[in-house]
Chain A
């Protein structure tokens, strides 16, 4: 059962990839990248149950923080400011 859910969750990443590739503006691509990061955390959490490896949740927590920093940096770039303002 959980393996099927894991495959569905991996398949959802294809929607984000579609939006990253086809996005008309740069903000659409950034939304796709942001949502992609959140989906990967879900994949790590389900794989922690199915493979019974504990370290995958650590990867998930680190991924949340790195995705947050990346999103803030891209938003700052999009609003036209320097990074030290």
Chain B
């Protein structure tokens, strides 16, 4: 029973990872790529760790997987925010199809 549930949850996580990596390939500029890849891959990897926790239950390995979930969540989101702010300051242009730049208006 636990094997079945954990396999299903890990499969869902890998589907999210696949969609995120597809966005990493296909999107036009760095901001779109960062948005797609960070959200989907973080959610997918948190789902994989949740599947490991369900597979093992409340033993040492399961609790380690449960600890890794908030650690990964906060590290990935804070890292992505720093990355997009740094690349904006470095002057990397938006893609050709982008129509609105809220950060430039907020800077004034």
Binding site for B on A (CB under 8 A): 1-2, 5, 8-9, 12, 15-16, 18-19, 25, 27-28, 30-32, 34-35, 38-39, 41-42, 45-46, 48-49, 54, 57-58, 60-61, 64-65, 67-68, 71-72, 74-80
Contact = CB atoms under 8 A, between A and B. Distances in A.
Given A35-B24, A57-B64, A75 B45 contact: no
User: Chain B, interface size: which category?
Assistant: 35 or more
A65 B76 CA distance: 10
B61 interface: yes
Contact of A54 (B13, B55, B61, B76): B61
Contact of A75 (B24, B30, B33, B86): B86
B1 interface: no
A25 B17 CA distance: 23
Interface of B: 6-7, 10-11, 13-14, 17-18, 20-22, 24-25, 30, 33-34, 37-38, 41-42, 44-45, 48-49, 51-52, 55, 60-61, 64-65, 67-68, 71-72, 75-76, 78-80, 82-83, 85-87, 89-90, 92
